[in-house]
Amino acid sequence: MSECGKLIVVSGPSGAGKSTVISRVMEQDKSVVFSVSATTRKPREGECEGVDYFFIDTQHFRKMIENGELLEYAQYVDNYYGTPKAPVLDNLEKGLSVLFDVEVQGAMQIKSLCPEAILIFVIPSEFSEIEKRLHARGTDSEEKISQRIKTAKYEYSFAMEYDYIVLNDMPDTAADEIKSIITAEKCRAVNRKKYLTEVCSL
Amino acid sequence: MSECGKLIVVSGPSGAGKSTVISRVMEQDKSVVFSVSATTRKPREGECEGVDYFFIDTQHFRKMIENGELLEYAQYVDNYYGTPKAPVLDNLEKGLSVLFDVEVQGAMQIKSLCPEAILIFVIPSEFSEIEKRLHARGTDSEEKISQRIKTAKYEYSFAMEYDYIVLNDMPDTAADEIKSIITAEKCRAVNRKKYLTEVCSL
């Protein structure tokens, strides 16, 4: 039985392990399509064009802003991140849910544009874990790590704007929580009115 | 990590297959305790005292009403059904969630007493299935089945008062939906504020 597609917005500070969790959700729930963001940041090792991100330059990104081709965009550390509008609309029309991996600013933009979007904030249960993971990643300078931690604290101050907080101590448990949220949201009475019509019109 | 206990109220018309679904949930989610109702109706084959219901007589039931020992009660067809208060409070104090299998009237009473209770309405995706299941059960007279169908239609008119509608075409899928709802509700931002305190107080 086809059910309505949802906008699922997942944010979380750098080092929360969000990407791993999202990959597991995408592998396991085929009713959800990942919204590939555009970014001006350099690809990390193993990241693929069109799968993880559309990697574009700043000039191209600014052009997309000007042309209104982005659903939301944000500047984070030194780079731009944004969501191309067209593929999102295509998927919703097909009845698929679309999952967004966006920064706090982007999440707030999506919420104000689409109040029915489901906002999920991913964090480890202990803040110190973020610092640990950023160091373990080994891709950033000490200065950049400090900046990311400062940004993380800023991002935490938006947590209560989200509908859900998912705890990522174990990626499988966190992925299960996100899948449960998606399932539960489909069960909301307001989304299942059509199953009552037959009786209530009697 | 212990999380807060919830009140989970499950209702559904006779023939919706609610009891089977609830049994599966109880088997699989050990953080949830079943609230055993008291009833004046006769036990069905296989039902056990203190497990499925406390089977009591009408005089005893009326005494419990008088003494304020019931969280909610309702009269349904010819019988009384109600929820003894004490075990619910005990379990919540232990941090366990309590699942109630109650009729629509009972659910509305719990909602007005505890607005934070999670209300779930269980139905098959086609109303005709209810009629089919009531006949297949073979425990009721034709007259009683007609009465149950009339009651079911009345109960459907309350469906939008519930938070969630779970579709029971396959008991395992329906049980998964209920377990997802319980997990998702634990993830609500408001229930996970404590994981932010460390950072937001910095």
Average pLDDT across chain B, whole number: 91
Domains defined for chain B, CATH in brackets? 7-35+96-200 (3.40.50.300)
Q: How far is A191 from chain B (nearest CA, A)?
A: 9
The label of the residue with tokens 């034709």 reads: B142
List, in order, residues 6 or more apart from B74 with CB less than 8 Å away.
B80, B81, B82, B102, B103, B104, B105, B106, B109
Distances in whole angstroms, Cα of residue A121 to Cα of each of A5, A40, A138, B39? 20, 23, 24, 44
Model confidence over A2-12: pLDDT tens digits? 566 899 999 99
Model confidence over B14-29: pLDDT tens digits? 889 898 999 999 999 9
Q: Are B180 and A184 an interchain contact pair (Cβ–Cβ within 8 Å)?
A: yes
Q: How far is B124 from chain A (nearest CA, A)?
A: 9
Q: Are A187 and B199 an interchain contact pair (Cβ–Cβ within 8 Å)?
A: no
For residue A177, the chain B residues in CB contact (below 8 A) are 183-184, 187
Residue B97 amino acid letter: S
| DSSP β-bridge partners for residue B59 | none
Tell me which of B34 and B3 has the higher pLDDT: B34
Which A-chain residues 109-138 have CB contacts (< 8 A) with chain B?
120-121, 123, 125-127
CA atoms within 13 A on the CB side of A64: 24
Per-residue model confidence (pLDDT) at position B78 = 86
Give the span between the Cα atoms of B112 and A195, in whole angstroms.
Answer: 25
Average pLDDT across chain A, whole number: 91
Position A202 confidence tier, pLDDT thresholds 50, 70, 90: very low
Tokens of A69: 């081709």
Give the span between the Cα atoms of A79 and B115, in whole angstroms.
Answer: 45
Q: Are A202 and B153 an interchain contact pair (Cβ–Cβ within 8 Å)?
A: yes
List, in order, residues 6 or more apart from A169 with CB less than 8 Å away.
A124, A125, A129
Model confidence over B118-152: pLDDT tens digits? 999 999 999 999 989 888 888 888 998 999 899 99
Mutate to test the interface with B, among A187, A188, A193, A200 (most CBs of B within 10 A): A187
Q: Are B187 and A180 an interchain contact pair (Cβ–Cβ within 8 Å)?
A: yes
What would the 3-class secondary structure string for A56-124 be? Answer: CCHHHHHHHHHCCCEEEEEEECCEEEEEEHHHHHHHHHCCCEEEEECCHHHHHHHHHHCCCCEEEEEEC
Q: Would you say the C-alpha torsion B35, B37, B43, B44 has a positive or negative sign?
A: negative
Position B88 confidence tier, pLDDT thresholds 50, 70, 90: very high
A176 touches chain B (CB under 8 A): yes
Per-residue model confidence (pLDDT) at position A169 = 95
Q: How far is B22 from chain A (nearest CA, A)?
A: 16
Mutate to test the interface with A, among B192, B193, B198, B202 (most CBs of A within 10 A): B192
Average pLDDT over residues A192-200: 85
Q: How far is B8 from chain A (nearest CA, A)?
A: 14
Are residues B54 and B38 in contact, defined by beta-carbon separation less than 8 angstroms?
Answer: yes
Residue of chain B minimizing CA distance to A119: B189
For residue A166, the chain B residues in CB contact (below 8 A) are 187
Average pLDDT over residues A66-91: 89
Q: Are A163 and B125 an interchain contact pair (Cβ–Cβ within 8 Å)?
A: no
Give the span between the Cα atoms of A56 and A36, in whole angstroms.
Answer: 12
Model confidence over A18-64: pLDDT tens digits? 989 999 999 999 999 999 999 999 998 899 999 889 999 999 999 99
Of B165, B181, B187, the CB nearest to A192: B165
Q: How far is A55 from chain B (nearest CA, A)?
A: 32
The label of the residue with tokens 């009697």 reads: A202
Tell me which of A182 and B5 has the higher pLDDT: A182
Position B66 confidence tier, pLDDT thresholds 50, 70, 90: very high
Q: Are B199 and A153 an interchain contact pair (Cβ–Cβ within 8 Å)?
A: yes
Give the span between the Cα atoms of A50 and B84, in whole angstroms.
Answer: 58
For residue B193, the chain A residues in CB contact (below 8 A) are 160
